């Protein structure tokens, strides 16, 4: 695994005897019937509400109706009837809208704890009781007319990863609804110097997709007092309910649903698609999970000794290979896609899931809209309890049709390995990382000029097409780019004591890194705030650090406006020229040629004319040396559009001849 081990919420191994009252072998579980049709545990109408729970191992199931989302006495309790396909059902007449409910399952003579079900769609505060609501009434005005922004090809995508609180909590954000879904509906927000923030900042930056960190109901935040703690949200409780701490009213079930939809609609109107970070690989706490309180043992993988497998590094791993879990994942993705109009899904620790399930999700999504983008982390935190050949690991991306994986070869080739924050690489002029960067530039596909024996992790191409590689150097995990550059430069300059790092040098390297990402043939990915030199005060794993560590300081957009303009200009440059995102491995092989260059310099030529670009020949040079670099290029008259930390699509200068000089620690882009 080539990534940060995930956030650990449950560290102790739980024995099978303590977690599964109804311990079964996988063979026995496979005998249980999987129901046909959608998983719909509560079907509401004004005249009656129909309840269904899949619990094939249960001896009895009861349904409890409550007047409130927490506390208080129950209104009534009902025995449910066993139905076909392992389902239990109960129909209640009358209009129950506004009520709450739970299921309770009896296994081996013991009643398990109450659960809102495995597929509840609305809950009370903190997700302990499911809510009976009319979903039609959660649709904001104009929802029926909401349309996804046009996307012709995955190669046109520019991703931007963000956390709701990071993005809007700062006092200078100008945003009223700080830390909430609807923060992304507010227009005209500005920092103290009048520069755009919020959704207007995203439009100005030019990204096509915003990847929001987990936004379903998660367990680490008390929704009644969200101001008291912070978390990224990689601790699922109810997978199909928006997180209440991001709502202006977590007590009213319909509010969080409506506000999530308002956010999506506002983003669509701004021309931006929305990607949801999904975490089906583990739950917050297996023993108290809705899965375990419904069909003990079924939804999780176990080791030979009966203890929980832990490929997630969070105490458990779900069994995506089990028929009902596979069905669950497919239907959950489709539910978010159809009910909330989402445009993509990022799978946390995708390597824990099996290939068959991921392909089933892609196939189901294609039937709705093939432009939906799906990608994930092609690794696990430790070895899952399933043969490697069956897992959706990065090395098996060529078996995942239309699904992308993060390219950590490029990330660590640029910034340094993930195991040591002080370790630097190409960006700080360390030799030997050029091939790993080149691997990322071609999008992890087979290319005749890449020496795969010298790649840092993968020794062979793993993508069929360049759009199957996410091109990135920074994300929510690990140090953000500004902190990593500062740390590695300081260690390089003085390994034994702390030294101050020159700010101008940090900015030069930040620009160089972003140039490599945005001229890569993979799908580029920007971590929120990198475009304004956002740091996290050196914190490596800030999943539960306070807002003071995680919040984007919007004053820095003024302080580092030059960096923002550089990145936004690169985004515009990429979107305007097909040569930077050809979208085809064969086109990349035919039309991207690496030029001879010295150590710590990477130069390549793009044949724009062959892919219909208005620029017939494009030269890109990345120079991490602390001195100017000379590179031989094809003879011609060129217009320079990127040089020495500046970008201007109308041209910065003219260049002529067959040799060019590239300033230290900078990129050069020119065309003819």
The catalytic residue positions are 348, 377
Spatial separation of the C-alpha atoms in residues 384 and 396, rounded to whole Å: 15
Strands 42-44 and 601-607: unpaired
Four-residue CA torsion sign, 287, 293, 294, 297: positive
Q: Which residues pair with 78 in a beta bridge?
A: 63
Spatial separation of the C-alpha atoms in residues 597 and 601, rounded to whole Å: 6
Spatial separation of the C-alpha atoms in residues 108 and 89, rounded to whole Å: 20
Closest by CA to 273, choosing from 622, 542, 549, 523, is 523
Residue length of the chain: 672
Spatial separation of the C-alpha atoms in residues 670 and 672, rounded to whole Å: 7
Four-residue CA torsion sign, 26, 29, 31, 34: negative
Q: Which residues have C-beta within 8 Å of that of residue 357, sequence separation ≥ 6?
A: 320, 321, 325, 326, 329, 330, 392
Q: Element (H or E) spanning 618, and its range?
A: strand 617-623
Neighbouring CB atoms inside 10 A of 302's CB total 21
Place of tokens 């390297």: 509
Spatial separation of the C-alpha atoms in residues 124 and 285, rounded to whole Å: 19
What interhelical angle do 198-205 and 561-576 show, nearest 10?
50
Tokens of 167: 């993005």
Neighbouring CB atoms inside 10 A of 34's CB total 16
Q: Which residues have C-beta within 8 Å of that of residue 286, sequence separation ≥ 6?
A: 10, 14, 19, 292, 300, 308, 315, 316
Place of tokens 């995708």: 350
The three state secondary structure string of 311-355 is: CCCCCCCECCCCHHHHHHHHHHHHHHHHHCCCCEEEECCHHHCEH
Q: Which residues pair with 470 in a beta bridge?
A: 406, 523
Place of tokens 């809102």: 116
Going from the C-alpha of 93 to that of each of 45, 48, 50, 60, 116, the distances in angstroms are: 9, 4, 9, 22, 20
For 470-502, b/e burial (b = at least 16 CB within 10 A) is: bbbbbbbbbbbbbbbbbbbbbbbeeeeeeeebe
For residue 34, give the DSSP letter. P
For residue 364, give the DSSP letter. H
**Cα dihedral 421/425/426/427 (nearest 10):** 30
Q: Which residues have C-beta within 8 Å of that of residue 72, sequence separation ≥ 6?
A: 66
């Amino acid at each position: 695994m080539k990534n940060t081990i995930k956030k650990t919420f449950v560290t102790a191994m739980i024995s099978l005897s303590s977690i599964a009252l109804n311990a079964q072998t996988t063979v026995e579980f496979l005998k249980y019937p999987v129901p046909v049709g959608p998983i719909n545990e509560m079907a509401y109408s004004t005249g009656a509400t129909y309840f269904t729970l899949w619990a094939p191992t249960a001896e009895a199931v009861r349904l409890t109706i409550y007047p409130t989302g927490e506390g208080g006495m129950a209104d009534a309790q009902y025995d449910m009837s066993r139905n076909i396909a392992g389902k239990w059902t109960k129909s209640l007449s009358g209009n129950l809208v506004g009520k709450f409910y739970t299921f309770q399952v009896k296994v081996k003579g013991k009643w398990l704890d109450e659960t809102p079900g495995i597929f509840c769609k609305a809950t009370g505060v903190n997700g302990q009781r499911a809510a009976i609501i009319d979903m039609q009434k959660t649709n904001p005005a104009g929802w029926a007319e909401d349309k996804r922004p046009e996307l012709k090809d995955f190669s046109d995508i520019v991703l931007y990863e963000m956390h709701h609180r990071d993005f809007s909590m700062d006092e200078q954000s100008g945003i009223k609804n700080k830390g909430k879904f609807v923060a992304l509906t507010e227009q005209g927000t500005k920092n103290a110097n009048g520069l755009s923030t919020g959704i207007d900042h995203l439009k100005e930056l030019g990204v096509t997709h915003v990847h929001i960190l987990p936004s379903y109901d998660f367990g680490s935040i008390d929704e009644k007092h969200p101001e008291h703690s912070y978390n990224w949200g990689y601790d699922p409780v109810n997978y199909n309910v928006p997180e209440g701490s991001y709502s202006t009213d977590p007590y009213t079930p319909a509010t969080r649903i409506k506000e999530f939809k308002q956010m999506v609609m506002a983003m669509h109107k701004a021309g931006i698609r929305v990607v949801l970070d999904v975490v089906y690989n583990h739950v917050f706490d297996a023993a108290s999970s809705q899965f375990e309180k419904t069909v003990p043992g079924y939804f999780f993988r176990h080791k030979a000794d009966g203890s929980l497998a832990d490929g997630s590094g969070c105490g458990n791993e779900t069994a995506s290979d089990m028929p009902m879990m596979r069905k669950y994942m497919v239907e959950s993705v489709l539910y978010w896609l159809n009910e909330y109009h989402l445009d993509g899904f990022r799978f946390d620790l995708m390597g824990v899931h099996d290939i068959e399930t991921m392909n089933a999700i892609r196939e189901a999504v294609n039937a709705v809209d093939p432009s939906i983008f799906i990608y994930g982390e092609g690794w696990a935190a430790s070895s899952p309890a399933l043969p490697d050949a069956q897992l959706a690991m990065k090395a098996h991306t060529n078996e995942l049709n239309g699904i992308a994986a993060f390219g950590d070869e490029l990330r660590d080739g640029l910034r340094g390995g993930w195991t040591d924050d002080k370790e630097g690489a190409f960006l700080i002029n360390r030799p030997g990382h050029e091939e790993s960067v080149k691997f990322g530039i071609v999008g992890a596909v087979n290319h005749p000029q890449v020496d795969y024996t010298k790649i840092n992790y993968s020794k062979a191409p793993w993508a069929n097409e360049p759009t199957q590689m996410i091109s990135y150097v920074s994300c929510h995990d690990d140090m953000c780019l500004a902190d990593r550059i500062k740390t590695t430069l300081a260690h390089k300059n003085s390994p034994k004591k702390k030294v101050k790092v020159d700010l101008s040098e940090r900015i030069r390297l930040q620009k160089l890194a972003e140039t490599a990402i945005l001229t890569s043939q993979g799908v580029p990915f920007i971590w929120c705030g990198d475009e304004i030199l956002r740091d996290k005060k050196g914190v490596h794993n800030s999943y539960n650090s306070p807002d003071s560590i995680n919040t984007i300081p919007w004053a820095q957009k003024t302080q580092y406006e030059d960096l923002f303009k550089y990145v936004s200009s690169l985004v515009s440059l990429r979107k305007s020229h097909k040569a930077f995102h050809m979208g085809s491995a064969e086109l990349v092989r035919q039309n991207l040629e690496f030029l001879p260059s010295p150590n710590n310099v990477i130069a390549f030529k793009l044949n724009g004319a062959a892919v219909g670009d208005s620029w017939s020949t494009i030269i890109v040079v990345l120079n991490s040396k602390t001195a100017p670099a000379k590179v031989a290029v094809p003879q011609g008259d060129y217009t320079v559009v990127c040089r020495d930390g500046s970008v201007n699509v109308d041209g910065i200068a003219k260049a002529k001849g067959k040799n060019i000089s590239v300033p230290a620690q900078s990129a050069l882009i020119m065309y003819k």
